[in-house]
């Protein structure tokens, strides 16, 4: 549990928050309400993630880590809400961001109560709250954020045109309903709502996979670079995770659930993130370092900013590692 929280808070959430600092003005077409707040969010989130990682071995640290993470998340959610408030008309991407941040707010609240219960400070049924916490944060925030941003980033980097947005709209709607269903199943201890939520989530993600397939097929840029390789591996990992998760629900064999989670976290989340890092970081470095020199001296092309050999080695070693551990 400590490792999972360190991975999700210290890697996944930290990178998502950093990406939001850069992408929100582009997506919403308005400036941040207070971009300076991100300088407070990152150290708070780092401290909170470390306290929570150690807190599962030393339970008294958990509430402190939970409170620090809560403060960081609340600052982030508040900043995003106030930025979205400046938008005159919401579209699909903006709406998904708004809903995702609402889910994040409640997911962190559930997590704090669980941390207090784990430390023995309050009496709560941790197992009952666990499903709600996991679904609110993983499906409700991380997955919805990826789904919303993918319709902006994937067509931009792949030069895709002419695809329908309807599958993504249906997928986001189903995932939102799935999160609500699982949360209510935790609160009211309803097995029917729980499995209905799982089914909705699976159908929604299968539709999302189909949407990604259509975006890929309509791309003008046919080159299979490190970005494309990472995303291909990530989305097939998502598909594998879905199949394994559904199989677990049918046969109730716990290793299938663990493998499904492994493929989701380290096959899908990790490769989606690292793939986009290979696109975004070179651009930011090039823009900061070389764009002022354009027309004055010879500057490298954007494609030259990615080290081909080391990035390929990272991809193949990571991909083989994910598959070997899953097997």
Contact between 165 and 219 under an 8 Å Cβ cutoff? The reply is no
Contact between 192 and 168 under an 8 Å Cβ cutoff? The reply is no
**Mean pLDDT, range 219-234, rounded to an integer:** 89
Neighbours of 261 (CB within 10 A): 17
CA of 73: how far to CAs of 37, 41, 138, 208, in Å?
A: 11, 7, 14, 27
Contact between 62 and 56 under an 8 Å Cβ cutoff? The reply is yes
Q: Is residue 296 part of a domain?
A: yes
Residue 39 has pLDDT above 80, yes or no: yes
- Interatomic CA distance for residues 135 and 314, integer angstroms: 30
- Interatomic CA distance for residues 141 and 103, integer angstroms: 6
Q: Is residue 11 part of a domain?
A: no
**Mean pLDDT, range 131-137, rounded to an integer:** 92
State the helix-helix crossing angle for 92-118 and 38-55, rounded to 10 degrees.
40
**Mean pLDDT, range 236-247, rounded to an integer:** 95
- Interatomic CA distance for residues 255 and 290, integer angstroms: 50
Instruction: Place 35 in a pLDDT band, splitting at 50, 70 and 90.
Output: confident
**Mean pLDDT, range 32-61, rounded to an integer:** 89
- pLDDT confidence of residue 319: 95
- pLDDT confidence of residue 121: 77
DSSP string, 142-188: IIHHHHHHHHHHHHHHHTB-S--SHHHHHHHHHHHHHHHHHHHHHHH
Instruction: Place 318 in a pLDDT band, splitting at 50, 70 and 90.
Output: very high
Q: Is residue 291 part of a domain?
A: yes
Instruction: Give me the percent of the chain exceeding a pLDDT of 70.
Output: 100
290, 288, 205, 286: which is closest to 244 by C-alpha? 205
Winning range, highest mean pLDDT, from 154-158, 283-287, 319-323: 319-323
Total domain count for the chain?
A: 1
Q: Is residue 235 part of a domain?
A: yes
Instruction: Give me the percent of the chain exceeding a pLDDT of 90.
Output: 52
Q: Is residue 280 part of a domain?
A: yes
Q: Give residue 229's Cα distance to chain centre.
A: 19
Contact between 265 and 7 under an 8 Å Cβ cutoff? The reply is yes
- pLDDT confidence of residue 125: 78
- Interatomic CA distance for residues 240 and 262, integer angstroms: 10
**Mean pLDDT, range 71-93, rounded to an integer:** 88
**Mean pLDDT, range 240-244, rounded to an integer:** 95
The tokens for 168 are 């993504």
- pLDDT confidence of residue 111: 86
Three-state DSSP state, 301: coil
Q: Is residue 205 part of a domain?
A: no
The tokens for 142 are 């991380």
The residue segments making up the domain with residue 301 are 224-327
CA of 314: how far to CAs of 18, 228, 241, 263, in Å?
A: 22, 14, 22, 17
**Mean pLDDT, range 297-302, rounded to an integer:** 81
Instruction: Place 301 in a pLDDT band, splitting at 50, 70 and 90.
Output: confident
Residue 147 has pLDDT above 90, yes or no: yes
Instruction: Place 50 in a pLDDT band, splitting at 50, 70 and 90.
Output: very high
- pLDDT confidence of residue 126: 79
Q: Is residue 317 part of a domain?
A: yes
CA of 109: how far to CAs of 63, 89, 120, 137, 152, in Å?
A: 12, 29, 17, 11, 30
Q: Is residue 273 part of a domain?
A: yes
Query: pLDDT for 165-214, tens place per residue?
Result: 999 999 999 999 999 999 999 988 889 999 999 999 999 999 999 999 99
pTM, entire model: 0.90
**Mean pLDDT, range 34-49, rounded to an integer:** 91
Contact between 184 and 241 under an 8 Å Cβ cutoff? The reply is no
**Mean pLDDT, range 278-298, rounded to an integer:** 83
Query: pLDDT for 84-119, tens place per residue?
Result: 888 888 888 888 999 999 999 999 888 888 888 877
The separation between the first and the last C-alpha atoms of the chain, rounded to the nearest angstrom, is 21
Residue 75 has pLDDT above 80, yes or no: yes
103, 327, 319: which is closest to 201 by C-alpha? 103
- pLDDT confidence of residue 295: 76
- pLDDT confidence of residue 175: 96
Tally of CA atoms within 13 A in the half-sphere of 54 that contains its CB: 9
72, 173, 73, 190: which is closest to 131 by C-alpha? 190
Residue 73 has pLDDT above 80, yes or no: yes
């Amino acid at each position: 549990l400590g490792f999972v929280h360190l991975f999700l808070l210290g890697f996944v959430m930290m990178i998502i928050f950093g990406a939001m600092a850069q992408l929100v003005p582009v997506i919403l077409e308005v400036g941040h309400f207070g971009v300076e707040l991100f300088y407070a969010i990152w150290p708070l989130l780092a401290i909170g993630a470390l306290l929570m990682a150690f807190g599962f071995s030393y339970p008294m640290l958990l509430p402190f880590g939970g409170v620090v993470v809560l403060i960081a998340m609340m600052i982030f959610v508040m900043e995003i809400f106030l930025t979205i408030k400046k938008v005159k008309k919401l579209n699909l991407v903006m709406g998904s961001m708004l809903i995702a941040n609402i889910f994040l707010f409640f997911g962190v609240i559930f997590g704090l109560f669980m941390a207090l219960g784990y430390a023995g400070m309050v009496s709560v049924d941790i197992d009952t709250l666990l499903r709600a916490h996991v679904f609110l944060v993983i499906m409700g925030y991380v997955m919805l954020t990826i789904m919303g941003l993918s319709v902006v980033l994937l067509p931009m980097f792949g030069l895709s045109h002419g695809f329908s947005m309807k599958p993504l709209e249906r997928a986001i709607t189903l995932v939102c309903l799935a999160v609500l269903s699982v949360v209510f199943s935790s609160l009211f201890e309803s097995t029917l709502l729980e499995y209905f939520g799982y089914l909705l989530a699976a159908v929604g993600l299968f539709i999302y996979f189909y949407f990604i397939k259509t975006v890929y097929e309509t791309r003008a840029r046919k080159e299979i670079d490190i970005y494309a390789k990472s995303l291909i591996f990530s989305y097939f990992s998502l598909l594998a995770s879905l199949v394994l998760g559904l199989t677990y629900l049918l046969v109730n064999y716990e290793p299938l659930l663990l493998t499904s989670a492994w493929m989701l976290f380290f096959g899908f989340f990790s490769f989606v993130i690292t793939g986009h890092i290979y696109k975004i970081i070179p651009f930011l470095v090039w823009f900061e370092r070389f764009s002022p020199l354009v027309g004055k001296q010879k500057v490298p092309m954007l494609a030259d900013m990615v080290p081909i050999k080391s990035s390929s080695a990272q991809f193949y070693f990571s991909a083989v590692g994910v598959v070997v551990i899953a097997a």
